[in-house]
Amino acid sequence: MIESEANCEALPVKWKQHLALALPSPHTNGCIWIHACSVGEVASIAPLVTRLLEQHHPIHLTVVTKTGMGHAKRLFGETIHISYLPWDLPGRIARLIDHIKPGLLLLTETEFWPGMLNACRKREIPVIGINTRISDRSFPRYRATKWLWKWWLQPVQLFLAQSSVDATRLSMLGIDNERIEPAGNLKYAITPPEVDAGRIREMIDPSGVRPILLAASTHHDEEKQILSMWPLWKEVVPDLVLILVPRHPQRFDSVAVDIESAGERFDRWSELNGSRQQYPEQIILIDSMGVLQKLFTIADIAFIGGSLTPTGGHNPLEAAICGRGVVTGPHIQNFREIMGEMRTAHAAIVCRDALEVEHAILRLLQHPDELRQLHARATIYMNEKSGVLDRVLHAIQPWLTALNGNQLKGK
């Protein structure tokens, strides 16, 4: 090992694990190794993890980002082993694999690392791609180097694609059709959060009757755009409450400055306790992680951020599973198929620009009957999409059966 012990001790755990200098607690042979990059991927595999745990499979989850690690710990606690993925360098990934000794690797979306796949091939560890997705942005790059990817992806025995579009793109990269199965998006397998909605409502609105507009997962510049729309909405509905949920925690303070610069008063979520005699301010800044899903249960109108800027939008299903239709801006490419289906089902309003967002929310505030219909259609849509988790489990069952057999033999 090149690094000295002193230098190793000085590194944070995250970097120690990225460098494979610190290894997680080992499993017994034959655990299921799941790799999910960040928050979105971790959230999508949560229902699958739950079902696999019910079948008594030991699980080791690797992530790349700090936010992904935090979300994984919030979701799973001590029920599974969680660590950062080592960098895809010679010997680093192999060191982790030889330590945790997985019997099966499940890779989410497009987390295909050549070194990882090669190490699994050498050790005869089956690899399955789950929730496989090839985005509009990345597909041209994959196709330009498809001769490389066709070779690199040989160890993947099955790709469970999110959609028929993703399945077609995999085929265009030279993957045999026998190894591709459109199974659907695991994001549909989410369940409503188990929360005390009344308590959350009381913290934000002690009266229990003020309408709540939730701006979820907003990005740079979106809060300013929403705040510019706020006076019109408040003029029409004077007791309206606006909840701003920035996507990234490092932006909490800068968003607070934006609110102050707009001349508005606000409260921070971290300072609310629900016991004050006076009402909270009409604008609430969420400055804590892991709160958003709970807030969908009390929102009257849900706007999905990342859609007024070229970010590509965020997952609308977190709102839909709580019976909430959504309003978005035009940039929805990250969830194009889902948003297209929700629009067809009249469970989402996709606006062409910020002005349309302003008018769409204004209309919903003025026509509560239309808002109720939007939410009802979101509920119907989610009910019709149930079953993806069973399809994924059915598809990987041969490998799970083999895994159980190997564990019984003590392999």
Segment 190-201, tens digit of pLDDT: 888 889 999 999
Q: What is the predicted pLDDT for the residue at 7? A: 45
pLDDT of 168 above 90 = yes
Confidence of residue 28 (pLDDT cuts 50, 70, 90): low
pLDDT of residue 336: 87
pLDDT score, position 294 = 95
Provide CATH 3.40.50.11720 ranges for the chain. 5-191+387-408
**In the sheet where 180-182 sits, what is the strand order?**
81-84, 59-63, 31-35, 102-108, 127-132, 156-161, 180-182
E strand map for 224-321? 241-246, 267-268, 283-285, 301-304
Query: Which residues, other chains included, contact 262 with Cβ-Cβ below 8 Å and sequence gap of 6+?
Result: 224, 227, 228, 230
One of 3, 5, 41, 222 is an active-site residue; which one?
41
Per DSSP, 325 falls in state: -
Looking at CATH, the fold of the domain delimited by 197-384 is given as Rossmann fold (3.40.50)
Residue position matching structure tokens 């564990």: 407
Average pLDDT value for residue range 307-329:
95
Weakest-pLDDT range from 124-128, 132-136, 251-255, 350-354: 132-136
Average pLDDT over residues 129-158: 92
Q: How many CB atoms neighbour CB 398 within 10 A?
A: 12
Q: 302, 296 in Cβ contact below 8 A?
A: yes
Rounded to 5 degrees, what angle do the CA atoms 287, 304, 222 make?
65
> With 80 as the cut, is the pLDDT of residue 90 above it?
no
pLDDT score of 275 more than 60: no
- How far is the C-alpha of 187 from the C-alpha of 286, rounded, in Å? 24
Geometric angle at alpha carbon 69, from 68 and 70, rounded to 5°:
90
- Pairing between strand 241-246 and 267-268? unpaired
Whole-number percent of the chain with pLDDT over 90? 76
Decide if pLDDT at 408 tops 70: no
Q: Is the pLDDT of residue 280 over 70?
A: yes
Provide the edge-to-edge strand list for the sheet that holds 212-218: 267-268, 283-285, 241-246, 212-218, 301-304, 326-328, 348-350
pTM, 2 dp: 0.71
Amino acid at 175: I
Is 41 a catalytic site residue?
yes
Residues 107 and 111: their CA atoms lie apart, in Å, by: 6
Contact 267, 281 (CB under 8 A): yes
Q: pLDDT at position 274, please?
A: 56
- Higher per-residue pLDDT: 226 or 334: 226
- pLDDT given for residue 409 in this prediction: 59
Residue 8's pLDDT band, with cuts at 50, 70 and 90, is very low
| Domain 5-191+387-408, CATH among 1.10.10.10, 3.30.360.10, 3.40.50.11720, 2.120.10.30 | 3.40.50.11720
pLDDT tens, residue by residue, 216-246: 999 999 999 999 999 999 999 999 999 999 9
Where in the chain is CATH 3.40.50.2000?
197-384
Query: Is 189's pLDDT higher than 80?
Result: yes
